Structure 1
Amino acid sequence: MTIFDTLKAMIERDGRAVLVTITAVRGSSPREAGTRMAVRADGAFSGTIGGGALEWQALAEAQALLSGGSSRMRTLDKALGPDLGQCCGGRVKLMLERLERDDLSWLAGLVEPPAAGGRVVIGMPQPHGTYLRCWADAAEAALLPEGESERLLPDGRLVESLGPQNPAVYLFGAGHVGRALILALAPLPLDLVWCDPRPEAFPSHVPQRVILRREAEPERILASAPDDARILIMTHSHALDLAIASAALAAARFAYIGVIGSGTKRARFVSQMRQAGLTQAAIDSMVCPVGIPGIEGKEPAVIAASVVAQILLVESKRAALAPAQPRKAPVPHRSVGEKPLRNV
């Protein structure tokens, strides 16, 4: 779910909302240029531009915009130290836009990115001072230099980057650990797909952003998963775990494949995967047991915290490597001796 989904829902509910965007950063800042936050009419908000005094002032300005008036846009230019008393030594520019029901049509056009890719939009100035956005074609996207989040063109159009899509996480299994894990993952910038073929396996209340898949054939779900998805496997059946893990490893296109289990389970899976013809390189990319070293507890919430920390470490390493060496291969596993064998 993107910020535009959230904005659309807010406007459908209340008739108006404010989009706060960091348009430029110089020096140190809590968040980067292109970060967005949506503010609802009752003061509730989604997303964050970094918290602290900057966010507090942005929320106050958003409420002032929501109170009415002819102007539907304002900008802020703040030195974080002198103006706001924050320790960060940078300077941040913000753009705040009040969006109303007449913006719903173009918001609907930004809910899903084009299939051919391109995370850049063109803004067309409107009489009320905001920008009518639509997806840019390849030539328009090239108008935004690498590393910049927005550029105002001489004809008044604003070219702006929406940033990369959220990483996709496919979680197989809706047992105790799966339920704890989905709650731990839900607040993070991840696209979550939760899979379990059993009737009534999912709880009655699920975080809004989570997509539920109940198909009996997990291989079909994996086939629909995007390249570089993160795969987490913790179903009610070891045989099903093995089938899903084997299919994911054979695909050789996922960024992370983690299986809950013990050292005994890993050894058994490795033996069966070899017999099935999987290469040693593919088998070695399986993370089992899942989670980071040093966290001993077996409680579902503890395992979930450990797994979430591992996923975030994977993301940090991928981000650090991305400029020079984009990675497509799964993350290598740790040997049994490096981590407590505490998932079952």
Structure 2
Amino acid sequence: MKHLNWSSAIQHCQQAGRGYVIATIINTQGSTPRDGGSKMVVDAERSYDTIGGGQLEFLIVQQARELLEKNQSCQVLRPFPLAAEAAQCCGGHVTVMLECFAARDWQVVLFGAGHVSQALVAILAGLPCQVRIVDSRADQLVMPLPVNCRFEVFANPVEAVASLADNAWVVVFTHDHGLDFQLCSELLRQDRWRYVGLIGSATKALRFRKRLADAGFDEVVIRQIYSPIGLPEVKGKLPMEVAVSIAAQLQALYYQHQPATTGRSTSWREIKNILQQPGQAIHSESE
């Protein structure tokens, strides 16, 4: 990856669904390596740009990674006396705001890389999710992939099911009805998904339910599969029209599962207090 400045790094991390921390110097006193407003971005693997280097930056990166491990969005206001804490000879004092943005936990898996899949990828590129595309045909996906998507080739895509994350959202639309059935069977056996959708007509859905019942699956388990897939209110048979319907259903169900949060904001009085009394950190959680 080429070198990124802090603003480009934010865009990259957001598109990739990676957690990241923005570190901003919001106040300086005395001699300091960088002025107020200087920024850097830290993710789990590297940092981008600089707020002065040296031990100060080492401590900032260390604390940013501690926040990332919790995977919760929050803000921390942190004072650093450079001589006493960072052992830097300039001897000034800086206050740094650490803004942590949690990684995306919405994992979407697409079995099949055909026309509808590619149209759906174009939509999911702009949503807060990470996408795996699985197919047996290495040359099937010719479009450039967004940074939050990756394409994996399996000779037998059913073997990929074991490696999927728990609570993944799974969409099945391969080029082979027999493979669709094998995938649905394996997905129902493992029963650890937030969503399983199967593309096809109402007739295909009925046939699959009968075959799954004949294979020994309970009716309650079979009903976990969304098929026909997508919102019935969204009409159309073109790949993009079908993709819009699927994406709308995924997004509607995803936000139903999200817990209500009430973020705590840091008041100006608290900020003023820490700027006037170095040595005290403020931590607040955001939605």
Q: TM-score range by the shorter chain?
A: 0.5 to 0.7
| Alignment correspondent of 1:17 | 5
1:259 maps to which of 198, 201, 213: 198
Pair 296,161 (structure 1): closer, same or farther in 2 beyond 3 Å: same
| Alignment correspondent of 2:285 | none
Please tell me the residue identity of whatever aligns with 1:150: V
Tell me if 1:222 matches 2:161. yes
| Alignment correspondent of 2:279 | none
Structure 1: distance between partners of 2:101 and 2:221:
34
Please, which runs of 5 or more residues in structure 2 have no aligned partner?
16-23, 25-32, 86-94, 263-287
C-alpha displacement at 1:17, in angstroms? 0.9
Query: Are 2:174 and 2:180, in contact at CA under 8 Å, matched by a contact in 1?
Result: yes
| Alignment correspondent of 1:175 | 114
Please tell me the residue identity of whatever aligns with 1:295: V
Tell me if 1:278 matches 2:246. no
Structure 2: distance between partners of 1:149 and 1:279:
47
| Alignment correspondent of 1:136 | 66
Structure 1: distance between partners of 2:123 and 2:180:
21
Pair 218,147 (structure 1): closer, same or farther in 2 beyond 3 Å: closer
Pair 216,73 (structure 1): closer, same or farther in 2 beyond 3 Å: farther
160-169 or 195-204: which moved more?
A: 160-169
Tell me the TM-score normalized by structure 2: 0.66
C-alpha displacement at 1:71, in angstroms? 2.8
Please tell me the residue identity of whatever aligns with 1:71: R
C-alpha displacement at 1:125, in angstroms? 8.9
Please tell me the residue identity of whatever aligns with 1:193: R
2:39 maps to which of 97, 121, 140: 97
Pair 147,212 (structure 1): closer, same or farther in 2 beyond 3 Å: closer
1:152 maps to which of 78, 83, 87: 78
C-alpha displacement at 1:217, in angstroms? 2.1
| Deviation digits for residues 232-287 of structure 1 (CA, Å, limit 9, x no counterpart) | 01111111111111111221111010000111101110011111111222111100
Count of residues in correspondence between the two structures: 227
> 3-state DSSP class of the match of 1:294?
coil
Tell me if 1:269 matches 2:269. no
* Aligned positions of 1:314-329 closer than 5 A: 314-320=253-259
Question: RMSD between aligned alpha carbons?
Answer: 3.7
Identity of aligned pairs, percent?
A: 25
Higher relative contact order (CA 8 A, sep 6+): 2
Structure 2: distance between partners of 1:127 and 1:157:
15
| Deviation digits for residues 289-325 of structure 1 (CA, Å, limit 9, x no counterpart) | 11112112111101111111111111110104799xx
> 3-state DSSP class of the match of 2:105?
coil
